[in-house]
């Protein structure tokens, strides 16, 4: 008896079924190669060979000579089949032991664990030697009833409807309140520029200028220190901070609990500080009955939230689109298969309907006209036309005759076919596509990971910079008060120099925090 080993080769550069056929045809001719199976979507070839004649590196080299990239895969545990079963009728620990010991003695079973409490069995097996139906039969022979754990085929975990709703709501709330704030801001800017023009042309004194400034409606003070502009901005900002920023606060809290700083932490930091600082400044101004209206940052939070929630909303809409496509793909999979037993000269002896998950490699499956192919396989008998548009997008049916490969999920049109299963379960082309799309869904784009990583360093450094600013201005102020006086316009002469310095230092450091918050990074 020749010993036969098995190896897996990662193959790159395959584009279509003819590449697969090319590799399989050429390698079968080589000495020492027993059989070869290539899976296009997984980019994987499973080769059974005689180690006395040929070794894996040489096999990879043969594939390379055909013009594809090939590397031998080290961890060959990929080939293990995993089976989850529900076992009924177990009463005590000895039942569990009976099942486990019998299965472990069975040739081809690599690992088995049965849980009495949940009635579940978890079995690893070698699909070359044994298949799920054999395992189920062994358990049935022991006198227990068993069935497969039903898989959720609906792809409900990929549904983004709730997130789409939540970010849309967040965006709309922020937008409703943001538009007036922006309007007010633009109006102020226009008026300011007009004023400065007027000032330039008419050489007004500063006093007249102040008078003109305060006569503007928005600068009109409702209460001493509280202008119409600031009051309106405050009113518009509160709902955005609460409703628009709700999700950000939750996310930021979770991130901080795990001692990390992500984008949400930055957004929350910037908006909260801008809001709280502006609010406090207004209260102070009112308490002091200030003549000059303080500079507030009420415009920052609504605008930030608008852009970011719009971005998140669009992101989830895009993800939702992919998920819909995935759900459709998953629904293309057949649920049952008709397995036939053939006698000599391909005489039909018996046939039975089984769950698709129970089809084993090497089974003979019969596909009737109008039926779906449950697994990837090779035609043994029969001629038919097959609609493979789900994979190839090709509208014209493809002719299938003995020796041709068929793809799971494609539709058999006019003739009955017998196929031998080559790829079953998670190895079928369709399952691989679903898996690839799922992986693409769950992984972040590299640039996104980079931004998150950066913001991890960015948050502490911005906070540090603003603290430095605070202390720097306090020191400068106490050393040379004139500088602060020059930049801090319209402060109340009645308050002490120390208070002026500290207030100015705070204003400078908060400005740094609000403006240097890498909002642009988050938005991008």
Which of 70-79, 219-228, 408-417 has maximum average pLDDT?
408-417
Closest to 511 measured CA to CA, from 193, 248, 278 = 278
d(CA 126, CA 78): 10
Tokens of 353: 């309907």
Tokens of 65: 């000579």
Indicate the pLDDT class of residue 377, thresholds 50, 70 and 90. very high
* Pair (136, 67) in one structural domain: no
Range of the domain at 380: 334-427
Burial class (CB in 10 A: 0-12, 13-18, 19+), 438: middle
d(CA 430, CA 438): 12
Indicate the pLDDT class of residue 514, thresholds 50, 70 and 90. low
**Alpha-carbon distances, residue 421 vs 27, 167, 367 (angstroms):** 20, 46, 12
* Pair (324, 176) in one structural domain: yes
Burial 221-256 (b: 16+ CB within 10 A, else e): beeebbbbbbbbbbebbeebbebbbebbbebbeebe
Q: Which residue, 443, 467, 492, sits at the end of a domain?
A: 443
Residues 252 and 267 sit within 8 Å (Cβ to Cβ)? yes
User: Strand, coil or helix: what is 305?
Assistant: helix
What DSSP string describes 401-435? -TT-EE-TT-EE-SS-EEEEEEE-GGGSHHHHHHH
* Pair (207, 279) in one structural domain: yes
* Pair (350, 415) in one structural domain: yes
* Pair (360, 438) in one structural domain: no
Indicate the pLDDT class of residue 468, thresholds 50, 70 and 90. very high
Count of the separate structural domains present in the chain: 5
Q: Which residue, 13, 43, 73, sits at the end of a domain?
A: 73
* Pair (311, 292) in one structural domain: yes
User: Strand, coil or helix: what is 5?
Assistant: strand
Residues 208 and 215 sit within 8 Å (Cβ to Cβ)? no
> What is the per-residue pLDDT for 200?
67
pLDDT digits (tens, 9 = 90+) for 160-204: 788 888 888 888 888 888 888 888 878 877 777 777 676 667 666
Helix, strand and coil percent figures for the chain, each rounded to 5: 55, 20, 25
d(CA 100, CA 311): 53
Q: What's the pTM?
A: 0.57
* Pair (225, 316) in one structural domain: yes
Q: Which residue, 403, 418, 443, sits at the end of a domain?
A: 443
pLDDT digits (tens, 9 = 90+) for 399-434: 999 989 899 989 999 899 999 998 888 788 888 888
250-264 mean pLDDT: 76
Sign of CA dihedral 314, 317, 323, 328: negative
pLDDT digits (tens, 9 = 90+) for 305-325: 888 888 888 877 877 777 777
* Pair (395, 517) in one structural domain: no
CATH code for the domain in which residue 136 is found: 3.30.70.100
d(CA 121, CA 112): 7
* Pair (159, 255) in one structural domain: yes
* Pair (405, 297) in one structural domain: no
* Pair (122, 243) in one structural domain: no
* Pair (17, 157) in one structural domain: no
Lowest model confidence (mean pLDDT) among 32-46, 133-147, 353-367: 32-46
Tokens of 131: 């298949």
What DSSP string describes 193-235? HHHHHHHHHH---HHHHHHHHHHSGGG-EEETTEEHHHHHHHH
């Amino acid at each position: 008896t020749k010993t036969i080993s098995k190896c897996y080769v990662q193959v790159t550069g395959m584009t279509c079924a003819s590449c697969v056929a090319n590799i399989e045809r050429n390698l079968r001719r080589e000495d020492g190669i027993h059989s070869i199976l290539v899976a296009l979507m997984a980019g994987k070839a499973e080769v059974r060979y005689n180690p006395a004649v040929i070794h894996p590196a040489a096999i990879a080299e043969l594939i390379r000579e055909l013009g594809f990239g090939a590397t031998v895969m080290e961890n060959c545990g990929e080939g293990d089949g995993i089976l989850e079963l529900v076992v009924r009728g177990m009463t005590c620990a000895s039942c569990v032991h009976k099942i486990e010991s019998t299965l472990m003695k069975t040739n081809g079973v690599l690992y088995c664990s049965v849980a009495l409490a949940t009635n579940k069995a978890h079995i690893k097996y070698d699909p070359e030697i044994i298949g799920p139906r054999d395992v189920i039969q062994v358990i049935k022979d022991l006198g227990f009833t068993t069935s497969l754990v039903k898989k959720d085929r609906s792809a409900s975990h990929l549904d983004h409807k709730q997130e789409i709703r939540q970010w849309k709501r967040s965006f709309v709330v922020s937008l409703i309140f943001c538009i007036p704030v922006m309007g007010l801001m633009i109006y102020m800017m226009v008026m300011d520029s007009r004023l400065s023009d007027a000032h330039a042309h008419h050489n007004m004194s500063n006093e007249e200028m102040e008078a003109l400034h305060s006569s503007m409606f928005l600068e009109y003070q409702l209460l001493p220190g509280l202008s119409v502009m600031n009051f309106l901005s405050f009113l518009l900002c509160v709902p955005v901070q609460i409703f628009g920023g709700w999700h950000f606060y939750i996310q930021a809290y979770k991130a901080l609990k795990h001692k990390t700083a992500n984008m949400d932490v930055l957004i929350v930091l910037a908006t909260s500080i801008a809001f709280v600082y502006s609010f406090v400044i207004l209260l102070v101004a009112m308490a002091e009955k200030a003549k000059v209206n303080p500079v507030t940052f009420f415009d920052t939070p609504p605008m930030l939230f608008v852009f970011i929630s719009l971005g998140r909303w669009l992101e989830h809409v895009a993800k939702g689109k992919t998920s819909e496509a995935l759900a459709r793909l998953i629904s293309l999979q057949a649920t049952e298969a008709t397995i036939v037993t053939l006698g000599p000269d391909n005489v039909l002896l018996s046939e039975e309907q089984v769950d698709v998950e129970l089809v084993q490699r090497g089974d003979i499956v019969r596909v009737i006209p109008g039926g779906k192919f449950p697994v990837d396989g090779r035609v043994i008998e029969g001629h038919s036309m097959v609609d493979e548009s789900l994979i190839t997008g090709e509208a014209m049916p493809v002719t299938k005759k003995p020796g041709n490969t068929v793809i799971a999920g494609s539709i058999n049109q006019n003739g009955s076919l017998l196929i031998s299963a080559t790829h079953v379960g998670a190895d079928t082309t369709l399952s691989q596509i679903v898996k690839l799309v799922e992986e693409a869904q769950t992984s972040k784009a590299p640039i996104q990971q980079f931004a998150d990583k950066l913001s991890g360093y960015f948050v502490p450094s911005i906070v540090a910079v603003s603290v430095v600013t605070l202390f720097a201005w306090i020191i400068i102020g106490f050393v040379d008060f004139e500088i602060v006086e020059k930049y801090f316009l319209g402060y109340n002469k009645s308050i002490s120099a120390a208070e002026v310095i500290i207030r100015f230092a705070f204003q400078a450091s908060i400005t740094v925090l609000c403006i240097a918050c890498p909002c642009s990074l988050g938005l991008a």
